[in-house]
Chains A and B, each alone.
Chain A
Amino acid sequence: MEMQYEYEGKLYPVRIAREGENYRITVGAKTFLVESREQKPGFVTMTIDGKVTKCNIATEGRQRHIFINGDVYRFNKVEAGARPAGFDKLPSNITSPISGKVTVVGAKAGDDVPAGHVILTIEAMKMEYQIKAPYAGKVEKVHFKAGDQVDIGALLVDMEKKAEPPTDAAKEE
């Protein structure tokens, strides 16, 4: 079967097939023969072409957290048929990168804002984070008011991108 993972904007296709007790796995141009044993839930010892590697796996929806050789990798599985996240050219709305409390609202529906304008300030763990307009445009709706608690991933602002005069870069698309 084939799987696809997405990390830092790059896609990684992986092909995997059972071979008796083991697995034959192709990553990029290389194929590996892998033996895998689960020591306890989430704790796996793999023997990849004879080399032993221990790792830990936790999943949350599409998200994969894997600890291997002292490093932690957090990436997404791309579901078959789904459009990979992060490949939209521009977000039409802004979501919260953190959970926290909205302290300042710096724009309202109908406002024309330049790129970088601070639309919301969110306080989390004694620090303040500014949510900035990713591009110049019109604010359609601000979903929270000062004092509201927001969760990570919550939709904060709907924005409409200002039409830009066509440039060479735009013509290429």
Chain B
Amino acid sequence: MEITKILVANRGEIAVRIMTACQEMGIATVAVYSDVDAKSPHVEMANESYPLGDPTPSASYLNIDKIIETAKRSGANAIHPGYGFLSENPKFAKACADAGVKFIGPTAEVIHGMGDKIEAKRTMRNAGVPVIPGYTGEEKNETIEQACARIGFPVLIKASAGGGGKGMKIASNPDELKEAVSSARREAKSSFGSDELLLEKYLPKPRHIEFQILADEHGKVVHLFERECSIQRRHQKVIEETPSVAIDAELRKRMGEAAILAAKTVGYSNAGTVEFMLDAGRNFYFLEMNTRLQVEHAITEMTTGIDLVKWQIRIAMGEHLTLEQDKLMQRGHAIECRIYAEDPQKDFMPSTGTLKTVELPTGVNIRHDTGISQGSRISPFYDPMLAKLIVYGEDRKDASRKMEWALSNYIALGVTTNIPFLRAIVHHPAFASGDIDTHFIETHFKSWSSSETLPPEVLIAAAIDDMKHSGTVEESEEGATTQEAHSPWTHAGRWRIDS
């Protein structure tokens, strides 16, 4: 099937990323946007764009009917969902199929199967993919207490319908278990409407290692190596890198084979990611499968030279994968930092406002994926991720230094960002030595704050700037005392900065 026009059912940096691939392939693009995104780069870049109205996600980017109708109206014969929003919604994939529009991703059945974490783990265990010892509620005649005795403390208690860390508790002994279970049930009920719980062995210093896979619609699957995403905060990834310092060629081969087995087991097609936990004893366990393009896909692209979005589109057109596993190679090292509009000194509270100044670091092998620009208003409606800064170096040390340099030269004023926090992480000796796990941030950055005092050069800069502008005002006041107090001319000196 020839794809001639793609509707991108997303916003921000990922919509821009997908449209870039479409343009390079000569495929027309259709943007959709909510009211607050009318002037966003993804809208300006598309060949056609259509409003979705109300910025509330459920009314706009999550509105299946409106998006399908827009695809039909615009004549798009495929939809790329990006990540987040509708990307892992089997109803959306099915609605696309029913409307005769190609969904760029796996089938609705596969999305559904992997979306249910209990079912996904059972499927994988049965197929021989290592799964973390646990309790799914369906073990015959086993209570949670008995399951704990079998698994061994400490255990992690999770909401089976959950995500994002909500409702997660750790219990180290039977006493803590009772309290943790009842509190997890309450949180799960209120957050997800279901108090069903999962239990699994808690790994003390686990790493998050995931494998990128590509699968065509004819049964061929390859993996494109791992990404280590251990630097997380509240189960949200912050910094990702590839390759991982924790795995060698032998382990990489075994984990890659397990990822391919996982994909083949469910009849996977298109790009996907198999997430594993790796413990200190080099044991790995299947965590979940993400049936979509990942935020951090760029580091795989930097080290393999393969454009994952283009392959997604080619696979959706029915093309055969021409990549051969034994010919695939990774070169060098890539790191990604997620730039968030949030205040690390105020418990990472999202920050909104207008980006007044944006100046990006440029240089050899620095990639910046973003969907915002100078003058953009950061609204409270969507995810606070502003951009992704990705660097490539010949080795990990080279890449880390380049990242630190790039962060130090990344200017974004007007909205508080996590850039100083990212710099502090990349600069940390534990990061430099590769001694990282999913508790890295809580271990080393429990109460992080940047500077508590203003250095003299900051005060000097402010004073000179203020003196220049007060000079303008003073002069005009002297010269034209009869002018209206609110005449813009008396404030001419402030125009450039507030505009």
Q: Which residues of A contact B (CB under 8 A)?
A: 1, 3, 5, 7-8, 10, 12, 14, 16, 18, 23, 25, 27-28, 30, 32, 34, 36, 41-44, 46, 48, 53, 55-60, 64-75, 77, 97-101, 124-127, 129, 152
Docked CA distance A21–B463 (Å) = 15
- Partner pick for B497 among A3, A46, A59, CB 8 A cutoff: A59
Contacts known (A32-B460, A98-B352); A56 close to B408, Cβ less than 8 A: no
Which residues of chain A come closer than 8 Å to B382, judged between CB atoms?
A: 125-126
- Partner pick for B457 among A5, A42, A46, CB 8 A cutoff: A46
Indicate if B140 sits at the interface (CB-CB under 8 A): no
Binding stretch for chain A, among B108-116, B290-298, B388-396, B409-417:
B409-417
Contact call A14/B350, Cβ cutoff below 8 A: no
- Partner pick for B420 among A48, A64, A72, A99, CB 8 A cutoff: A72
Contacts known (A5-B462, A41-B497, A97-B346); A124 close to B408, Cβ less than 8 A: no
Which residues of chain B come closer than 8 Å to A98, judged between CB atoms?
A: 349-352, 380
Which residues of chain B come closer than 8 Å to A71, judged between CB atoms?
A: 420, 450-451
- Partner pick for A14 among B407, B412, B463, CB 8 A cutoff: B463
| Residue of B349, B383, B467, B494 with most chain A CB atoms under a 10 A cut-off | B467
A33 → chain B closest CB, angstroms: 10
Indicate if B485 sits at the interface (CB-CB under 8 A): no
Indicate if B356 sits at the interface (CB-CB under 8 A): yes
Which residues of chain A come closer than 8 Å to B453, judged between CB atoms?
A: 7-8, 10
Contact call A58/B414, Cβ cutoff below 8 A: yes
Contact call A72/B419, Cβ cutoff below 8 A: yes
Chain B residue at smallest Cβ distance from A127: B350
- 13 A-B residue contacts at CB 8 Å? A1-B470, A16-B464, A44-B465, A48-B456, A58-B414, A65-B413, A70-B423, A72-B419, A73-B454, A75-B454, A99-B379, A99-B380, A152-B353
Which residues of chain B come closer than 8 Å to A75, judged between CB atoms?
A: 454, 462
Indicate if B307 sits at the interface (CB-CB under 8 A): no
Contact call A7/B454, Cβ cutoff below 8 A: yes
- Partner pick for A5 among B413, B450, B454, B494, CB 8 A cutoff: B454
Indicate if B452 sits at the interface (CB-CB under 8 A): yes
Which residues of chain B come closer than 8 Å to A64, judged between CB atoms?
A: 462, 465
Contact call B497/A73, Cβ cutoff below 8 A: no
Indicate if B461 sits at the interface (CB-CB under 8 A): yes
Which residues of chain B come closer than 8 Å to A25, judged between CB atoms?
A: 459-460, 463-464
Contact call B352/A124, Cβ cutoff below 8 A: yes
Contact call B414/A60, Cβ cutoff below 8 A: yes
Contact call A57/B461, Cβ cutoff below 8 A: yes
Q: Please classify how large the interface on chain B is, using the bins under 10, 10 to 19, 20 to 34, 35 or more.
A: 35 or more
Contact call A68/B350, Cβ cutoff below 8 A: no
Contact call B349/A97, Cβ cutoff below 8 A: yes
Dominant secondary structure at the A interface: strand
Interface residues of B in 445-499 (CB under 8 A from A): 450-467, 470, 494, 496-498
A108 → chain B closest CB, angstroms: 22
- Partner pick for A36 among B455, B458, B464, CB 8 A cutoff: B464
Contacts known (A16-B464, A69-B408, A98-B350); A27 close to B383, Cβ less than 8 A: no
Contacts known (A7-B453, A152-B352); A57 close to B420, Cβ less than 8 A: no
Indicate if B133 sits at the interface (CB-CB under 8 A): no
| Residue of B353, B381, B384, B451 with most chain A CB atoms under a 10 A cut-off | B381
Indicate if B357 sits at the interface (CB-CB under 8 A): yes
Contacts known (A12-B454, A60-B498, A72-B413); A3 close to B357, Cβ less than 8 A: no
Interface residues of B in 359-399 (CB under 8 A from A): 359, 379-384
Contact call A48/B457, Cβ cutoff below 8 A: yes
Contact call A70/B407, Cβ cutoff below 8 A: yes
Docked CA distance A68–B409 (Å) = 9
Contact call A125/B384, Cβ cutoff below 8 A: yes
Contact call A42/B497, Cβ cutoff below 8 A: yes
Contact call A126/B383, Cβ cutoff below 8 A: yes
- Partner pick for B460 among A18, A43, A46, A125, CB 8 A cutoff: A46
Shortest 8 CB-CB contacts between residues of A and residues of B: A70-B408, A58-B413, A58-B356, A124-B380, A65-B413, A99-B380, A125-B350, A41-B496
Contact call B464/A46, Cβ cutoff below 8 A: yes
Contacts known (A41-B496, A97-B346); A3 close to B423, Cβ less than 8 A: no
A31 → chain B closest CB, angstroms: 10
Known: A59-B498, A65-B413, A75-B462. 9 other contacts (CB 8 A): A23-B463, A27-B460, A28-B456, A56-B359, A57-B413, A59-B497, A60-B498, A71-B450, A129-B349
Contact call B414/A34, Cβ cutoff below 8 A: no
Contacts known (A68-B457, A99-B380, A125-B382); A73 close to B463, Cβ less than 8 A: no
Which residues of chain A come closer than 8 Å to B384, judged between CB atoms?
A: 125
Contact call A1/B420, Cβ cutoff below 8 A: no
Which residues of chain A come closer than 8 Å to B458, judged between CB atoms?
A: 55, 66, 68, 73
Contact call A74/B416, Cβ cutoff below 8 A: yes
* CB 8 Å contact bits of B417-461 with A (1 = contact, 0 = none): 101100100000000000000000000000000111111111111
A164 → chain B closest CB, angstroms: 28
Contact call B456/A27, Cβ cutoff below 8 A: yes
Contact call A58/B357, Cβ cutoff below 8 A: yes
B255 → chain A closest CB, angstroms: 31
Which residues of chain B come closer than 8 Å to A16, judged between CB atoms?
A: 463-464, 467
- Partner pick for A30 among B351, B456, B494, CB 8 A cutoff: B456
- Partner pick for A53 among B349, B413, B419, B457, CB 8 A cutoff: B457
Chain B residue at smallest Cβ distance from A73: B458
